[in-house]
Amino acid sequence: MEIQKPRGTRDFLPEEMAKRRSIENKLRETATRWGYGEIKTPTFEHIELFTLKSGEGIIGEIYNFKDKGDREIALRPELTAPVVRMYVEELQRSAKPLKFFYFDNCFRYERPQKGRFREFFQFGVEIIGSARPESDAEVIALAVEMLNSAGLKGDLHVGNLGIIRSLFKDILPEHQGKIMRLVDKKDDKGLEEFLETINAPSGMRGKLFRLIGLRGENAVHEARELVGDIEPVSQFEELLSLLDVYGVEYQVDFGIARGLDYYTGMVFEIYCEGLGAQNQVCGGGAYRLAALFGGEDTPSTGYAIGFDRIMEICEAKPESSERIVVISFDDTRKEAIVIAKKLRENVSTYLDVMGRKFKDQISYANTIGASHVVIAGKNELDAGKVSLKDMKTGKQELVTVEEVIKKVKAVFP
């Protein structure tokens, strides 16, 4: 039996890589234009980084191992924790806000299915040092813009955990988590049953259900009536007005809980069609993790785009480009190398390395979809030129190597 790739991993062939790179570059360009700087963190970290953030329970879904120095190491399952670790470790004294983006692979030991792999790629953004609605709004707008740049239009839901949490004052912390989980799942029946079991105050129950059901124009006003005129409501209101300025379409959704305790205020998710059960392509929010990793308490906001998921649904537009094949004969092979070398300074050039005969070389050029063929034969070389053949039109002309470059570049600038 031949060796196969490990479960949940993938090989990417040239055609697909071209597509992935093209989208990746669009995301990268967008982030750069918004003033974010690219960073890179290690592929593996001490496992504590992730257990601190998410609890011991996540070890079951982490690729971890002991290294030769007996350290417990984890392949990163996500990138927010490493970025915050990096911040705490070496950037706490730098000018705020810090604006970063990253694109890297992550690893999770989970059951693979559509849009879900054991090695997957995340494109993320973090802004560190601001807790203001302005940064929340910018981050959301950037997320939307990035997806647009990839040709995608998602369904944006925005919520605020501070508002929903304000209802939980009298609830045990361990029960709060469970409630948030049920809210996030939109499992109303389960939520009702659970609230019954823990004998939650009936006033709070009613408010909770009304809150998570709020949608549309008046959602914020109604939320204020439910929870009072508290800070998170005003912040949220401000955020929405800023999103309007950005021209971002959104849906207020207090049902977004994102399960995690360290999210503090704004949370958002973006969904796209065509992905089956894994329809969330982007998720994020405002959080506080720096203190957890031993730094000063610092507000941050960020999100991650599931790169593999957007690749599933975004239209492939393979940018056509030139592809030149230099064809030679047994008596001009070496000259062809010199010509190819010259061409390669400017255009993508292929040269036969199979010792093929003329006809087979041109046939191969056709097979790989060459745009042009440069024929370097004795006749041409004697005249100090080559024949340039356009594979589309079939037309052929006698030109110099410099003219080849010029003519090809005219077609593929």
- Is residue 387 within the footprint of RNA (CB under 7 A)? yes
- Is residue 1 within the footprint of RNA (CB under 7 A)? yes
- Is residue 277 within the footprint of RNA (CB under 7 A)? yes
- The number of residues that bind RNA (CB under 7 A) is 59
- Is residue 61 within the footprint of RNA (CB under 7 A)? yes
The least distance separating RNA from the CB of residue 349, rounded to whole angstroms, comes to: 17
Q: Which residue among 283, 286, 307, 347 contacts RNA (CB under 7 A)?
A: 283
Residue 122's beta-bridge partner residues? 104, 306
The least distance separating RNA from the CB of residue 48, rounded to whole angstroms, comes to: 12
Q: How far is CA 4 from CA 9, 10, 396, in A?
A: 10, 10, 46
The least distance separating RNA from the CB of residue 106, rounded to whole angstroms, comes to: 9
**Given the complex with RNA, which of 227 and 404 has the nearer CB atom?**
404
Q: Cα–Cα distance between 282 and 278 in angstroms, integer? A: 11
The least distance separating RNA from the CB of residue 258, rounded to whole angstroms, comes to: 5
Q: Cα–Cα distance between 196 and 194 in angstroms, integer? A: 5
- Is residue 121 within the footprint of RNA (CB under 7 A)? no
How many residues comprise the chain?
A: 413
Give just the sign of the alpha carbon dihedral 18, 23, 27, 32: positive
Q: Which residue among 45, 391, 407, 412 contacts RNA (CB under 7 A)?
A: 391
Stretch that binds RNA, among 97-105, 209-217, 337-345, 359-367 (CB under 7 A): 359-367
Q: How many CB atoms lie within 10 A of CB 70?
A: 6
Q: At what angle do helices 333-344 and 401-411 cross, to 10 degrees?
A: 50
**Given the complex with RNA, which of 228 and 394 has the nearer CB atom?**
394
Q: Which residue among 221, 378, 406, 409 contacts RNA (CB under 7 A)?
A: 378
Residue 319 gets which letter from DSSP? -
- Is residue 80 within the footprint of RNA (CB under 7 A)? yes
What's the half-sphere exposure (Cβ side, CA atoms, 13 Å) at 152?
32
Q: Which residue among 229, 367, 410, 413 contacts RNA (CB under 7 A)?
A: 367
- Is residue 271 within the footprint of RNA (CB under 7 A)? no
Give helix then strand counts, H and E, for the chain.
Answer: 15, 16
Stretch that binds RNA, among 89-97, 112-120, 151-159, 196-204 (CB under 7 A): 112-120
Stretch that binds RNA, among 29-37, 58-66, 194-202, 224-232 (CB under 7 A): 58-66
Q: How far is CA 255 from CA 9, 200, 371, in A?
A: 33, 19, 54
- Is residue 408 within the footprint of RNA (CB under 7 A)? no
- Is residue 357 within the footprint of RNA (CB under 7 A)? yes
Q: Cα–Cα distance between 90 and 293 in angstroms, integer? A: 12
> H or E segment at 342?
helix 333-344
Instruction: Please say whether the beta carbons of 19 and 26 come within 8 A.
Output: no
- Is residue 176 within the footprint of RNA (CB under 7 A)? no
The least distance separating RNA from the CB of residue 46, rounded to whole angstroms, comes to: 14
**Given the complex with RNA, which of 183 and 223 has the nearer CB atom?**
183
Considering only residues 129 to 168 of the shown chain, the ones binding RNA according to CB under 7 A are: none
Q: How far is CA 98 from CA 42, 87, 142, 334, 341, in A?
A: 19, 9, 15, 54, 44
Considering only residues 284 to 343 of the shown chain, the ones binding RNA according to CB under 7 A are: 329
**Given the complex with RNA, which of 197 and 366 has the nearer CB atom?**
366
Q: Which residue among 32, 197, 366, 400 contacts RNA (CB under 7 A)?
A: 366
Q: How many CB atoms lie within 10 A of CB 308?
A: 19
Pairing type for strands 263-271 and 155-160 reads antiparallel
Residue in 78, 99, 84, 96 with CA at minimum distance from that of residue 35: 99
- Is residue 58 within the footprint of RNA (CB under 7 A)? yes
Q: Name the residues that contact RNA, by CB under 7 A.
A: 1, 4, 6-9, 50, 53-54, 58, 61-62, 77-78, 80-81, 108, 110-114, 116, 181, 185, 258-260, 276-278, 283, 329, 354-360, 362-367, 369, 375, 377-380, 387, 389, 391-394, 396
